[in-house]
Amino acid sequence: MSFPRCALLWARLPAGRQARHRAAVCSALRAHIGPVPGGLGRVPAVASASSSASGGSKAPNTSLFVPLTVKPQGPSADGDVGAELTRPLDKNEVKKILDKFYKRKEIQKLGADYGLDARLFHQAFISFRNYILQSHSLDVDIHIILNDICFSAAHVDDLFPFFLRHAKQIFPVLECKDDLRKISDLRIPPNWYPEARAIQRKIIFHSGPTNSGKTYHAIQKYLSAKSGVYCGPLKLLAHEIFEKSNAAGVPCDLVTGEERVTVEPDGKQAAHVACTVEMCSVATPYEVAVIDEIQMIKDPARGWAWTRALLGLCAEEVHLCGESAAIDLVTELMYTTGEEVEVRNYKRLTPITVLDHALESLDNLRPGDCIVCFSKNDIYSVSRQIEIRGLESAVIYGSLPPGTKLAQAKKFNDPDDPCKILVATDAIGMGLNLSIRRIIFYSLIKPSINEKGEKEIEPITTSQALQIAGRAGRFSSKFKEGEVTTMNREDLNLLKEILNRPVDPIRAAGLHPTAEQIEMFAYHLPDTTLSNLIDIFVDFSQVDGQYFVCNMDDFKFSAELIQHIPLSLRVRYVFCTAPINKKQPFVCSSLLQFARQYSRNEPLTFSWLRRYIKWPLLPPKNIKDLMDLEAIHDVLDLYLWLSYRFMDMFPDASFVRDLQKELDGIIQDGVHNITKLIKISEAHKLLNLESLSAESQSRLSGTLKSQGRRTRSTKTSGSKAAEPPCPSAGEKSLASRLVQQGLLTADMLKQLEKEWLTQRTEHGKEITESGTYSKGTRRRKKEPDSD
């Protein structure tokens, strides 16, 4: 029987006879439109549900599954075939059927077997119901089933196959969970590097504190080898080895994210290369490889780069330099590769003493002193106070360009320069050779980001304290003995306690999804945003106990920033891996602008970039101007970074590098006159340093420590003790502590106060208008209609 003939006969049959002839009609339908999902009649207890099971893996976090939109069907060119075969559906009857379907416990349980927990089931049903009720015409199969249910010729459970099909459309992850788990399986990372596994490497761990000569011995081996690679954590360190190597007559190239320098006149690669650890090649064979600061394998954001270098470098000898805390982990990791670790221990070359008295006043400063702060506001405040005392200081902090840091270090080290005091952040912990007699901790409290991406404000760790304190009295400096103390008397005992603690052993190494893995994820989830792909990847990922997945908040921030720009997945991934400071609005907007230009296929030329940054730039007149120049320097860094990934779209790297050097000079002049800029900023109320005076700072660390003790003691007290105590005259309020730590300014505090008062007023109005809502009514159980 032909399909048109079947349809014509079916339409003429009364409802009772349609049920009896359904088998014949369905055979014709199958011939034209394929099998009817689930057949007809009651849905069995679906035996295939187990095929979707995850084989004992952890249940996914379904809150990460973002539903896709499935639009209702509009009028069909062929007309409503289902209505011609049966009859038009009564929307009110269909709505009752769907609500009955939703409330059935058996259906909810069946949905759970397919990965639809209560949240996903509810969202899928709302979408399914809207699709059914808002479509002009439905597919023939579902139309027939709904018609049969209306006439009691089928059971409401027969809708489940269609509901499941719809659920998989809006949540495509349900269809491919097993494949996604295989793609995101990060177990056994050594197998990712077959070239390294094909050779038997010799692993030598140079263990010791700062200024122990461990890196020196590794570098000597590097310089004497026929070929070698140095992998450092900072551009400054890569530059230092690059210069030392070439000065020693060993031709060496430089590779960082923003720079490539070849020393051979014909452009041929030299046998030695100094690079930042992220840029090392795991495909090039070397005789000797040096991985510096191996303890950073635990870094929440960058640890993956050290893991990759450790497992993947193809070198006959791999020399690791770092803290003893990493020995056990490295030994365990190398056991999985079948490689033994030789440990060479080093002791500090010069003595270092923790003093029994704090500095207490900047009047007690001596030549060779370095005051270590953990916020820019403290840097500004201390520099200003030193200048008031008629002394000159050098300033080093993290966001300064490398050239400016080196210039300030040179100024401080120069015995003929009147500058004898250094004010710095923990940026001095690596990459700079400084002639420091005494390290003075202005505070022991440092904001940090944990593995979950959460901000924490806690005392510095033993590892951080040792790294910074070790800068005093270095072997190569004129001070052969180092001293360490604090600014405030209350902090001194805590510093001694921190320094005397054993360094916690490192438990796990960082991992990071590759572009190829994300591309495979996107193949299965083509309509999912890159940020959401990352979330799902991390959630599905499986790692061995010796590894963890690095925090990817910065990557996701960039992904969300450029999500609306049309780019291929690979290009989008590269843009998101670009290192940017997300606290700098101009840098973030520049990434957005660069991505937009790229999507339009408009090359970012030197002339365009000059207009964009409004070159030529004037010397800074205040601190805000200086910070703006630092942000522009970061933007030029971003251009250079992208120029090595997209050479045709960022074609003028050499011109931009010359421009950046010129900008570095302008910033150097600004930092040289930083106290004048601070003074002008204070005069124009652009910078408020009153709350950051040394007197108000004096009890910060001690107060936080004592608060920690009080918090622990009140946990065991009664409910009265659990109430937050009102700050007494001698205690600092939360607001003043946040200002002291540089997390709030006076203007921000005023704005927060205004917003709080506004919200309080609005909340009071809402309570007044709502009357006795909370007393006289009870909420009904949520129905699907509420969405």
Q: Residue 317 corresponds to which amino acid?
A: E
pTM, 2 dp? 0.80
Determine how many CB atoms are found less than 10 A away from the CB of residue 408.
Answer: 26
Q: What is the rounded distance in angstroms from the CA atom of residue 257 to the CA atom of residue 645?
A: 10
Q: What is the rounded distance in angstroms from the CA atom of residue 787 to the CA atom of residue 400?
A: 51
Q: Residue 185 carries which DSSP code?
A: B
Q: What is the pLDDT of residue 476?
A: 74
Residue found by looking up tokens 């250079």 in the block: 640
Give the torsion through C-alpha atoms of 278, 223, 404, 467, to 10 deg.
70
Q: Which residues of the chain have pLDDT under 50?
A: 1-56, 691-731, 766-787
Q: What is the rounded distance in angstroms from the CA atom of residue 582 to the CA atom of residue 589?
A: 10
Q: Report residue 445 CA to chain centroid gap.
A: 23
Spatial neighbors of 220 by CB under 8 A, at least 6 apart, are none
Instruction: Looking at 470-622, list the stretches that DSSP marks H as alpha helix, in order from N- to C-terminal side.
Output: 489-500, 515-524, 530-540, 553-561, 569-577, 585-599, 606-612
For 630, half-sphere exposure in the C-beta direction (CA atoms, 13 angstrom radius) is: 23
Strand, coil or helix: 291: strand
Q: What is the pLDDT of residue 738?
A: 59
Give me the sheet containing 352-354, strands edge to edge. Answer: 352-354, 482-486, 438-441, 369-372, 421-424, 393-396
Residues 7-55: pLDDT tens digits?
Answer: 433 444 444 444 444 444 444 444 333 443 443 344 444 434 433 333 4
Q: What is the rounded distance in angstroms from the CA atom of residue 698 to the CA atom of residue 737?
A: 11
Q: 3-state SS of 629-660?
A: HHHHHHHHHHHHHHHCCCCCCCCCHHHHHHHH
Q: What is the pLDDT of residue 763?
A: 53
Is residue 75 within 8 Å of residue 136, measured between CB atoms? yes
Q: What is the rounded distance in angstroms from the CA atom of residue 572 to the CA atom of residue 28?
A: 48
Residues 516-530: pLDDT tens digits?
Answer: 999 999 999 999 999
Element (H, E) at 25: helix 22-33
Candidates 385, 401, 394; CA nearest to 626 is 401
Q: What is the rounded distance in angstroms from the CA atom of residue 160 to the CA atom of residue 145?
A: 11
Candidates 742, 710, 713, 743; CA nearest to 727 is 710
Q: What is the pLDDT of residue 707?
A: 38
Is residue 516 within 8 Å of residue 537, measured between CB atoms? no
Q: Residue 57 corresponds to which amino acid?
A: S
- Distance between start and end Cα atoms, the chain: 46
